[in-house]
Amino acid sequence: MTKARIVNIISNSNYESRRVNAQLVRKLKDLQLTPSREFSDQAELTIVIGGDGAFIKAVKQTRFSPIPIVGINTGHLGFYQEIIPDQLDDFLEAYMDGRYVLEQVSLLGAEIFTKNRNFFVTALNEIVIKAQHSKVLHLNLFLNRNHVEKFSGDGMLIATPSGSTGYNFSAGGSLIYPTLEVLEITPLNPITSSAYRSLSNSIIVPGDVIATLVPERRYSNSSLLVIDGIEYSYRQLRKVNVKMSDRKINRITLNKDNYWNNLKSKFLD
């Protein structure tokens, strides 16, 4: 008996996504593939329908599964979403023929320390520390235990290369080619005056460097962590260690040059 070839479909609920979802199910069945709207760890492929938000949410819902993943863009920016709905037939043909590239996407791993416990989180795009209620945050930044600066400003952002096109870029950070193994540390509205001296530009470091963020003690109960756009509040936050995670996700791309095409079409055209 031939083993079923399962394809996971994860979709948001807007009208265009539902339309594409129904179309995709029919086309997969025509190709003798088995579509599954419930995530199966036996699948050979996961297809996400929506925008970048849907893609990030799907990656987290699937717990950063190593199953190859590809996105159909029915949203706005769509940096993670490789395919537009009109290219669906072309993509399925290329996939069945094996004409695609599997690109490993780096993730961030962070260890969060509070007074009484410590735990780990994983992020696809970025991890941000900031103060609640739009207050100024004062923290110390260490790189591999070397003190770099005492920062004052709105907060500090640490991004992956693939995440560098999002919040990081809007905050004045640089764009980084997605396959590079580096972290980007970007200050958010740093204060530079006679009283406070903060670096005003991003720092790019190798992925094995551990960046440690230590908020001043008076901010231990008023610091927010924003992990891929979702806010978390912790009591008695002591420090956060961030580095490139050992885990990766496998993203399908049809053409390595699509990064440059995306860059131009999303930001310049």
Question: Would you name the residues annotated as active-site residues?
Answer: 52
Q: What is the DSSP letter of 198?
A: -
Q: How far apart are CA 200 and CA 179, in angstroms?
A: 26
CB atoms within 10 A of CB 88: 16
* CA separation, residue 57 to residues 11, 42, 198 (Å): 10, 20, 34
140 Rama sector, left if φ>0, alpha if ψ -120 to 50, beta otherwise: beta
Q: How far apart are CA 235 and CA 220, in angstroms?
A: 7
216 Rama sector, left if φ>0, alpha if ψ -120 to 50, beta otherwise: beta
Q: Where are the alpha helices (DSSP H) in the chain?
A: 15-30, 52-61, 88-97, 167-170, 258-267
Enumerate the β-bridge partners of residue 113. 118, 239
**Side-chain half-sphere exposure of 208, counting CA atoms within 13 A:** 0
Q: How far apart are CA 145 and CA 185, in angstroms?
A: 15
